[in-house]
Amino acid sequence: MQLLSLLAVGGLATTAVAKSSRAAALERKGIQAKPRYGFPGHSAPIVKRDAATIIPQTNRTAKYVVNGTAGAIPEVNFDIGESYAGLLPISSAANETGELYFWFFPSSNPSAADEITIWLNGGPGCSSLEGFLQENGPISWQYGTPRPVYNPWNWANLTNMVWVEQPVGTGFSQGIPTATSQEESAAQFLGFWKNFVDTFELKGRKVYVAGESYAGRYVPYIADAMLDQKNTTEGYFDVKGIMIYDPSIAEDVILEDTIQNMTFGGLQGFQSVPSADFYVPYHNEFSYESLSASGIMGVTHTERKLTWVAQALSGHMVPQYQPSSGYRQLEFLLGRVESLESRKPFSTQLGVGQPGGEEGGNGTVGGRGV
């Protein structure tokens, strides 16, 4: 599983290089790459914001501004909106040489004003740009496809998203890798995070941490370290929730066993067997770029603030293989929907009717592959 994540990134990088040179060759011959948007029902790319920005522009933010207009990023022929990318040190020491790489997408969703969500891929050593480019970011370049397209299920549609490459040694991060434990990785992340919050003036935001695979280890340790510092470093570490996909939280164990061995909220394990339907709303997102499922997509269970989902029809990387499921799960994490059983439409597509109404009905997909 962890190897799969790493391989996916390697493959993507190779493709990117090959396509760029092909496009350049075509351009020299005066041939323009075919525009991606021409199909009926395609999703609208993020609307370009001409003047007002979501993040106030300061001298500190200036060096991170990404030119998101169509064509500015090779092969990306749609506007990706406002974003910021670059390096920030892992501490406030003047001689700090370790820096983490990030790509930050503030959201224009009005419900996102007081929050921020961090995404981490696993590995250890897996670039979080894998998630950015293939799972839940606005630019989607899938296996075997000729060019990147806009991802209508990108999580920045719901909340302010930052994809971070960590610990030092991963992806575009800089410096000598020194972390030898989860605690040391988490300490690097917290140093980076303080600098990030200061740079983009995000003090006081609710923080959510999400990730996949080996991030099943990073995420809880980072959240725990943040909670430890929350009271002493006010405004930076107000963690409200975490989400981990197919997490490597212990060596080769089945997740269910781990939950049943774990004490949380004063009791050990779940007290009843998971049986509720995980429902993904019917939606009006019919782009050819990202056909995505609706209906009952698995089994879910919540007890004492811990929610578990058995996701149907997905491999390791749920936001990639079942993007509408991942989008719904993020809505739940952020408190935009009260439960994963809810039959309410997506918060970004209110008014889309659901079969059987909010009570559910026989229009939903019957089987739930577990």
Cβ distance to ligand NAG smaller for residue 14 or 92:
92
- One DSSP character per residue, 143-171 reads TT-SS-EE-TT-GGGTS-EEEEE-STTST
- Near ligand NAG by CB under 6 A, which window of 125-133, 241-249, 332-340, 346-354? 346-354
Residue 183 in contact with ligand NAG, rule: CB under 6 A? no
The interface with ligand NAG within residues 263-292 (CB under 6 A) comprises 285
Cβ distance to ligand NAG smaller for residue 10 or 41:
41
Residue 152 in contact with ligand NAG, rule: CB under 6 A? yes
Cβ distance to ligand NAG smaller for residue 157 or 166:
157
Contact assessment for residue 236 and residue 194, using Cβ atoms and an 8 Å cutoff: yes
The interface with ligand NAG within residues 237-266 (CB under 6 A) comprises 250, 253, 257-258, 261
The one among 155, 279, 332, 346 contacting ligand NAG by CB under 6 A: 346
Residue 362 in contact with ligand NAG, rule: CB under 6 A? yes
The interface with ligand NAG within residues 83-112 (CB under 6 A) comprises 93, 95, 97
Which burial class, exposed, middle or buried, applies to 3 when counting CB atoms under 10 A from its CB (0-12, 13-18, 19+)?
exposed
Cβ distance to ligand NAG smaller for residue 342 or 348:
348
Cβ distance to ligand NAG smaller for residue 67 or 180:
67
Task: Compute the distance between CA of residue 142 and CA of residue 18 in angstroms, rounded to an integer.
Answer: 15
Residue 67 in contact with ligand NAG, rule: CB under 6 A? yes
Contact assessment for residue 39 and residue 288, using Cβ atoms and an 8 Å cutoff: yes
- The interface mask with ligand NAG, positions 289-328, x = CB under 6 A, is ----------------------------------------
CA dihedral 182, 188, 190, 192 (to 10 degrees): -150
DSSP 8-class letter at 296: E
Residue 115 in contact with ligand NAG, rule: CB under 6 A? no
Task: Compute the distance between CA of residue 255 and CA of residue 26 in angstroms, rounded to an integer.
Answer: 49
Give 77's contacts (C-beta < 8 A, 6+ positions apart): 33, 35, 36, 37, 70, 71, 147
Residue 32 in contact with ligand NAG, rule: CB under 6 A? no
Q: What Cα–Cα distance (Å) separates residue 27 from each residue in 14, 15, 17, 33, 72? A: 20, 18, 15, 8, 15
Give 65's contacts (C-beta < 8 A, 6+ positions apart): 57, 84
Q: Smallest distance, Å, CB 7 to ligand NAG?
A: 27
Task: Compute the distance between CA of residue 13 and CA of residue 68 in angstroms, rounded to an integer.
Answer: 20
Give 223's contacts (C-beta < 8 A, 6+ positions apart): 209, 239, 242
| Count of positions on this chain that bind ligand NAG (CB under 6 A) | 27
The one among 14, 20, 21, 58 contacting ligand NAG by CB under 6 A: 58
Which burial class, exposed, middle or buried, applies to 175 when counting CB atoms under 10 A from its CB (0-12, 13-18, 19+)?
middle
Contact assessment for residue 246 and residue 310, using Cβ atoms and an 8 Å cutoff: no
Task: List the structure tokens of 60.
Answer: 């500190």
Cβ distance to ligand NAG smaller for residue 95 or 181:
95
Q: Smallest distance, Å, CB 223 to ligand NAG?
A: 12
Q: Smallest distance, Å, CB 43 to ligand NAG?
A: 7
Residue 20 in contact with ligand NAG, rule: CB under 6 A? no
Residue 72 in contact with ligand NAG, rule: CB under 6 A? yes
Length of the chain, in residues: 370
The one among 32, 180, 181, 231 contacting ligand NAG by CB under 6 A: 231
The one among 41, 74, 315, 361 contacting ligand NAG by CB under 6 A: 361
Q: Applying CB under 6 A, which residues contact ligand NAG? A: 58-59, 67, 69, 71-72, 93, 95, 97, 152-153, 157, 227-228, 231, 250, 253, 257-258, 261, 285, 346, 348-349, 356, 361-362
